[in-house]
Amino acid sequence: MKFFCAVLLCGFMGTCHANDGWSSELSHATGGALLAGAITRIYDGSENRAWIGFAVSSAGIVLSESYQISQGAKRSSSYLDMASHIAGAALGAWWMDKYGLTPVIGRHSVGLVMRRQF
């Protein structure tokens, strides 16, 4: 089910169109942040959930823009779109991992226990 949700989210990326303006690059960064955050949320139980969200979102935009380049799109525009989306994906995955979800306790976690008698 998690894989299906991730594929469905990546499928919605193909319907977006943009130009080379400031608002376009901001929308690519926002889309990357939202997609990476959503995928990070889907893989909530994994210790590497932020890396998974970042990687899936980044791979989706690289594949999408590579296809557009192969169809004759301007390379510089596609590279700019990729960079904006990947920067947003990094921010979105990091934010969701640190502030949006509860911490994952794993083998390398460290904690502190205090006991006091009253």
Summarize pLDDT for 89-99 with one digit per residue, the tens. 999 998 888 88
- Note the pLDDT of residue 91: 92
Summarize pLDDT for 37-46 with one digit per residue, the tens. 999 888 888 8
Q: Residue 18: pLDDT above 60?
A: no
Task: Report domain extents, the chain.
Answer: 2-100
- Note the pLDDT of residue 116: 81
Please give the C-alpha separations between residue 64 and each of 15, 42, 60, in angstroms, as whole numbers. 10, 22, 6
Summarize pLDDT for 52-103 with one digit per residue, the tens. 999 999 999 999 889 988 988 888 888 888 899 999 999 999 888 888 777 6
73: which 2 tokens? 């799109």
5: which 2 tokens? 């949700």
106: which 2 tokens? 């794993």
